């Protein structure tokens, strides 16, 4: 029996187990060593560059580049270092989760309290009962999560599949949540959120096109705000471009390459601003189909037609979950691979989300009901089990090495 009843309410403590968790942990530890080297080198470059700008002295034994070049290089390194730092923090959190973590889930009449620890780091999250829609398996059954109207909150990735299913059953009982009917999804399993068209997620709008047809578009206010933000970046890049080009004309060939690069970036941002301001993509809702239409000013052109929708999932070595709602046409549209694989003829991306399936799932359910087309939610444990079976069969048929790999997959599945 997983969990116990305490003075706080019913609670369960989940810790990582199994020998297979140490293989990705070893890879993450090795990657973090390289990450630390990159972090130090980039930070040193920024500090040395700032000192060089302030004092006028060159960095090391090389001549000091022109000021515009140094500013452009510094901006790029700051952008790269921001992403690099975020990636390192995420990798470190995943490493700690696999080797030194605990998730304590407490359920009471007021909702769920989640106490997480990753090494020496602690965090507490309160989830009120009136915001909880369902207890769901996230990451295709590899995690347990709470789905609210706004987001999906992961409770734990620790423990086995059977333990997480037991906790899900107990939590639904403690919170008074109903089990979902088996007709909720083509890949429904106990604990999966019901696929219901409860309304469009934020950022989308159901409206009528100038031709009098029902269409689904992104919120015009959101798109206009994005155009303004990109436009501001375009103006800043254009100002920098003018400065660098003028310097290149007066100081010679040394600034030619930076001038070309900055000009390309400025033109790209200008084109993106223009596209956001005067063009848009829209999904025309028909009977038994949805049609992707590109509208440029007053002219519209149909570019793709789909007869079904699919919600897919993928993850990377850091444990980051990515969800994608795809529109599909034809038998060749479904493949085993990246959730974001697209093909202009048979597979197009409708919406995507990082670490949260709530928005794409609600959008897919609404669009499927509005158009009368199938919606296959492949983010549940049943779909994960099917993919593992297909993978195992392919490995077993590929030769001795493949059969050995298939045995490892089977052992990992049993220990999960």
Model pLDDT, residue 142: 74
Token pair of 383 as six digits: 């779909």
Model pLDDT, residue 338: 47
pTM value? 0.63
Distance CA 57, CA 59 (A): 7
**The total number of residues written for the chain in this structure:** 416
Pairing type for strands 308-315 and 375-377 reads parallel
Distances (CA, A) of 180 to 34, 85, 169, 183, 255: 46, 41, 12, 8, 64
Residue 405 · residue 395 · CB < 8 Å? yes
- Neighbouring CB atoms inside 10 A of 199's CB total 12
**Which ranges of the chain have pLDDT less than 70?**
1, 62, 68, 138-141, 178-198, 252, 254, 315-320, 331-342, 380-388, 390-391, 409-416
First-to-last alpha carbon distance for the chain, in angstroms, is 17
Please, which residues have CB within 8 angstroms of residue 181's CB and are 6 or more apart in sequence? 188, 194
């Amino acid at each position: 029996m997983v969990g116990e009843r305490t003075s706080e309410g019913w609670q369960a403590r989940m810790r990582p187990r199994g020998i297979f968790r140490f293989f990705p942990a070893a890879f993450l530890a090795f990657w973090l060593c390289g990450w630390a080297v990159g972090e130090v080198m980039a930070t040193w470059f920024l500090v040395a560059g700032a000192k060089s700008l302030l004092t006028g002295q060159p960095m090391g034994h090389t001549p000091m580049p022109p000021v515009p070049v140094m500013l452009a290089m510094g901006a790029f390194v700051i952008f790269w270092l921001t992403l690099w730092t975020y990636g390192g923090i995420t990798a470190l959190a995943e490493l700690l989760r696999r080797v030194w973590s605990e998730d304590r889930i407490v359920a009471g009449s007021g909702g769920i309290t989640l106490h997480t620890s990753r090494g020496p780091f602690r965090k507490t999250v309160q989830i009120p009962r009136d915001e909880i829609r369902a207890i769901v398996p996230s990451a295709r059954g590899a995690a347990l999560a709470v789905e609210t109207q706004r987001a999906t909150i992961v409770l734990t990735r620790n423990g086995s599949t059977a333990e997480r299913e037991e906790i899900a059953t107990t939590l639904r009982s403690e919170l008074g949540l109903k089990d979902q009917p088996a007709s909720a999804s083509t890949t429904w399993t106990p604990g999966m959120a019901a696929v219901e068209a409860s309304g469009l997620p934020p950022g989308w709008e159901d409206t009528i096109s100038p031709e009098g047809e029902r269409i689904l578009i992104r919120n015009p206010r959101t798109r206009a705000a994005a155009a303004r933000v990109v436009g501001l970046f375009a103006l800043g890049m254009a100002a920098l471009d003018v400065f660098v080009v003028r310097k290149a004309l007066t100081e010679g060939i040394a600034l030619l390459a930076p001038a070309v690069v900055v000009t390309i970036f400025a033109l790209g941002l200008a084109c993106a601003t223009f596209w956001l301001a005067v063009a848009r993509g829209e999904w025309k809702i028909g009977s038994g189909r949805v049609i992707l239409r590109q509208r440029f000013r007053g002219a519209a052109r149909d570019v793709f037609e789909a007869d079904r929708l699919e919600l897919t999932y993928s993850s990377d070595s850091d444990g980051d979950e990515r969800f994608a709602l795809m529109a599909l046409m034809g038998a060749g549209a479904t493949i085993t691979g990246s959730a974001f694989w697209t093909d202009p003829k048979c597979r197009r991306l409708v919406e995507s989300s990082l670490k949260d399936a709530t928005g794409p799932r609600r959008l897919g359910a609404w669009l499927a009901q509005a158009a009368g087309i199938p919606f296959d939610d492949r983010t549940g444990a049943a779909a994960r089990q099917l993919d593992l079976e297909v993978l195992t069969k392919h490995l077993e048929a590929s030769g001795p090495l493949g059969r050995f790999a298939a045995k490892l997959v089977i052992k990992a599945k049993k220990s999960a």
